[in-house]
Each structure stands twice: as C-alpha cells, then as structure tokens.
Structure 1
C-alpha cells in the first residue's frame, strides 16, 4: 500500500479552484510514469524503401514530418521483399498482442520507478484507440500481471489521441475519493494495427505519422506526505462540434478494414481553439499563460505543434520535449503526452511551486487540458 489515509475535502478537481488555496496534499499527485515501445524501429527513409514508395508527394510527407524514427511492427515480408496486406482480423490480433505486451511493460516500469508492487494497485484505467476487443486491456492486464482481482477498472476505447487526459481525469476522480490508494492509467496504442496501404494521400498522411507505444502513470491522494510528485489541480475540455469529422477512424469498404482520416485543416482548427481552452483552464486560478513554467503538449504532428505554439505564444524551448518525442517516436496517440512528461521530469529542471499544463487533442474535435503544480 502507498501511504496511509488522510482526510480530504470532497471538492471536484474538475471545478475552478484557486491553486494557492488548495493544499497539494488534498489533490491527486502524479507519482511517476513508465513507457514502452515495440523493439523494431524504422527511419522514415527505411519505410519509404521498404514499401517501395516513389510518389514524390508521399515521399515529401514522410521526409518533412519532423520525425526521424518510429517503433512499428510491419506486415509480414513476402519472398519478393514486398509486404503482405494484413486482414482486419490480423490487425485486431496485432492490437491485442502488441498492446497487451507494451502496456504490461509500461505498467511494470512505472511501478518499479515509484517503488510499488502489483498488489498496491487498486484502480486501473486502460486507454486505447487502435482496435476493439472484449474483455478489454484492463481485464487482460489484471490476468497477465496478476493484479488483485478486486481492482476497480475502466476501459476508455475509441476516443483517440486526446483520450489520455480523459482517462487521467477519471483516475484522478477515483484517487480523490480513495485517499492513500494507488490508481494507475495505461495508454497502449499499437498503431501498426491501424494502417491501410492503398497509395492514396489520405492513408499516406496517417502512415507517415503514427508509431507504437504505451505509457503508464500512477496517482495517489493524501497518504504518505513524503511522496513526491506534482498535484493535479484542475482539468478543462473544449470540443469543436463543427469539426466532428476532421479526425475519424471509420470503415473502408474498398479495403475491408478500418482506416484513419486526418483533415488537412486539423492543425489550424486545433490551434485556433487552444487559447479558449487554456483560458478556461486558468480561469479563477489567478494564473495566466505566462505563469506556466512547463508545457507538455501532445506530439500530434509538426503542423499541430506549430499551430498550438503560435496561438499560445509559446517558444520552441517551451515545446522541446514534445518535438523530441515526435522526432524519436512519431505520434503515439493517447500516451504521447506521458512520453513528453517523462522527458520533462528526467531533465531535472522542475522546481517546487512551479506550474505546468498538459494538453492533448484528438477526434471530436477535442482539446483536453490539465493544470499541475510541482
């Protein structure tokens, strides 16, 4: 067990709260994170050569993506060196197998980093968008790793790249109601299980961007006062209904499988609404954007990051952890922001009392945010 119970105020962390008047011990705290990727990694040039892509438009998309490498499990190789088209059933099997394996490693790394055991976990949320299965990853991880059979759990499926913060909001709510207990979230995205190869620009944009990865994060509220980690002060959401079709994962009749679509205007839609959601997040806190010391933004793609940066008045230095993750791993969907958060914490520059913002964006179109105090 992590710590002991302390009395807590039952105010919702999703409501406006003055961070100066909300004692950190009464808010959920992030204890640590763990990450995992597939063992096989490819440069963008290697992928172009592997799939024998000669179309200059497609090559330009890959080579100008600000991505150097991505961890992927490619389709089986045929005798002539080309790659076989996988069926939807094979892709779902890849989603289950790779997603479970990466998720288990990420969770184990997270627990190891905070000195906790499997038996300490009392609540588990699993997030994914790269396939559908029943039972979901939460039940499968409990069986695979031997978590307690009375572990409370939740599966968040199909919400896309923003879903990591949707899941974290749920975990934080459970943590607030169960002080002293350990709650964890696992985002596991086998993006290799969501690819369609048909030579169109629609699929080429997606195929140039996503990588396989999983991330886990552990939270607790109250309990051991010596435990370190930033407090989650507040969440805020913003949905853009008129852009509901701008990012979607739907059925492709011609290919006989699901296919992801990204509208070319997505970066500008997200950027144009970033200031609104940040204003809502900071409303009533006495803080402004310039008071935020650390920004952790979803590595959604070069244009998305640039658009958010311009609209919020951020510098390249502010989003360096985000761009570094994009460079090394591509877009890891729901767990991307935790990879960036891990790099921030490993940098050793964070000081007590500083503020941070987590931001994710995805289908809906939706922007999710959270306010931290370190």
Structure 2
C-alpha cells in the first residue's frame, strides 16, 4: 500500500432553513397515510431544504424545470463556496494555495460547470486546474476523490480540493405517487469540501500551520452491479415535464449483497481483515441501505454511528454525505496513528465505491 495523498481537512455547509419530517408533511398538506408513514419512519429527524415558492392559494407551487436549474445553480454556488472556505480554514490554507479544484454535483446541470462558477465567486486563480463530475449520483464524491488523490500524487506539495454540492431541493417532483414520495422523504441539501495533498508541505507554503498528521488515502476499489443499472436513475419524466429520480425498492438489498465482495477486493493483499478496520464511514443512503450494509459486513450500530447521525440530522446528502460523516469522526478526535478506516458510498449504476485510509 503506497498511497501518498492524504486528507488535510474537510468543511461542510447547508442552507439556513431546516424542517422536521412532521413539519414537511404539514407544510405540503400531505394526508395520505402511506406517504406519511414513509416520512415518519425514515430514521430522519430534520433536513436542510429550500422549499418552492407559494402560489396565490398559499400552497407550494410546482417549479418548472428552468426554475429548478436556477435553484441548483444558486444553492450549489452558495453552499460550495462556504464549504470550501470552511475546509481551507481547517487546513490552514488560502484560496491562492488551490492548484486543483474538482466540483461534484448531480442535482442540476451547468455549462460552464460548477467549478468555473466557484472559481469566479471565490476569486480562485483562473489558472487553477479543474474537473467537473456530473451525473454519477451518490457515489460520485468517493469516485472523484480517487481522481483528486491521483492529481495530488502527481503534483506533490500542491493543494487539491474537491467539493460536492447537492441542491436536492432542485430535483423534486410532487405528483403524489409512492415513487416520488420515497425520494421526497429522503434527500436534503448540503455541500462538503475536502483538501488533499501529497509530499511534504511546510507551514511557509501554507502561510499557517499545516495542522496535525492526516490520514493517507491508500487505495480505492469500485464495483458496478450492471444487472441493476436502472435501479437508481435520474431521467426525464414526460408526464411531469422535468427530471425525476427513481429508486427501486430492491436497492438496499442489491447494495448489501454486493458490499462484501468489494470490501474484500479493497483489502485484498493488505493483510487486513474487516475486524482490523477501526473506523467505517458509510454513505447515509437511507435506513434500509445502512441496515443492509451492516448485516452483510457484520458491522455494529457503533461502527455506523456517524452515518446514522448524518441521516438523522440531514437526510441523504447525495455525493457529499460521507464527508459529513468524516467531519463527525474528526470532531470526536478518537482516530489514532496507525488505525485504518474505510470510506464507502453507493449510487446509480448500481455502484459501490470504497477507499482505504490510514492515520
């Protein structure tokens, strides 16, 4: 295991408004007992959201696709800039230190990409190398982190930043069906940024202290379940005249059934067993997804406490969820030198992405 890139810091951001599941049911005047049950049995307490404008009758009105794209741009840029600023502050770095910016989002489409808008908004050096990752869904953050780590390894001493900005409020359909109700009960808005470097970095290069030792990104492993390629998808709904997200009810079980094989591949040749992993940071994909992964990997509720905590307080934040969990692990300040951790995300494809880190 020869990974040289390391995680220097993370930063997160959310919209200022949040709502309990019960509040959302009342605000949207949802009385169908089946839909109410989905919301109230989701293991989610609150979510940060940007609700639609109200119509003349006082009820929330359906936004057209153009309004949703505008919402995505506005929210992604706002949350993304705040997450990057927080991340750099934790890393003791400046905007001028960024040599590479990777922007990840699936909840809207922008051309030029989100990275260009963030560079302009923050005043980052226009010569900064950049990458936009779109359309990969909830697993995109960890998949993109592989590319970010590769750039950092090829450019030792330079700072690479990845930001996942997901305005899930801009990807909703309200048609009263069970399909859309499951999605509407689950996702929240949020952004997370991560700073990665490789090689020696001195305080003089940062302008401030580089901070304590950081975990190295040792290796990555992916697995795409091609038989379930349509199980999670974000595609055009002709009836609603907008994009709509679809989650197959079998997704949790499909993901869980394949979790063991990809973790086995991640640890193959390392001499490590699953019991050697001290910290598990799993995507907060939903209660059933988390439970299925726990059962198939033999994890405890303590192992996934950060994941379930993020789900409880934020819902599913799509590509940046695992970084919210990582932030909670940092806040605990319990990771010790030599300990191993596994990062794990799941998304459309259906795909499982993993990474092995060591403090």
For residues 171 and 118 of structure 2, what CA distance do their matches in structure 1 show? Answer: 21
Shift of 1:40: 0.6
Deviations 1:173-207 (A, max 9, x none): 00000000000000000000000000000000000
Instruction: Show the counterpart of 1:56.
Output: 33
Instruction: Show the counterpart of 2:22.
Output: 45
1:151 aligns with 2:128: yes
For residues 149 and 72 of structure 1, what CA distance do their matches in structure 2 show? Answer: 32
TM-score of the superposed pair, with normalisation by structure 2:
0.97
Instruction: Show the counterpart of 2:286.
Output: 301
Deviations 1:38-81 (A, max 9, x none): 11100000000011111111000000000000000000012432
For residues 95 and 110 of structure 2, what CA distance do their matches in structure 1 show? Answer: 24
Matching of residues 315-330 of structure 1 within 5 Å:
315-330=300-315
Pick from 283, 287, 291 the counterpart of residue 272 of structure 2: 287
Structure 2 gaps of 5+ residues are 203-209
For residues 63 and 186 of structure 2, what CA distance do their matches in structure 1 show? Answer: 19
For residues 237 and 354 of structure 2, what CA distance do their matches in structure 1 show? Answer: 32
Pick from 60, 74, 87 the counterpart of residue 97 of structure 1: 74
Q: In the comparison of the two structures, how many residue pairs are matched? A: 351
TM-score of the superposed pair, with normalisation by structure 1:
0.93
Instruction: Show the counterpart of 1:241.
Output: 226
Structure 1 gaps of 5+ residues are 1-16
Matching of residues 1-374 of structure 1 within 5 Å:
17=1, 22=2, 27-224=4-201, 228-374=213-359
Q: Secondary structure at the match of 2:9?
A: strand
Which 4+ runs in 1 deviate beyond 6 A?
none
For residues 332 and 224 of structure 1, what CA distance do their matches in structure 2 show? Answer: 32
For residues 144 and 68 of structure 1, what CA distance do their matches in structure 2 show? Answer: 33
Q: Secondary structure at the match of 2:99?
A: strand
For residues 132 and 126 of structure 2, what CA distance do their matches in structure 1 show? Answer: 16
Shift of 1:160: 0.1
Shift of 1:223: 1.5
Q: Secondary structure at the match of 2:76?
A: helix
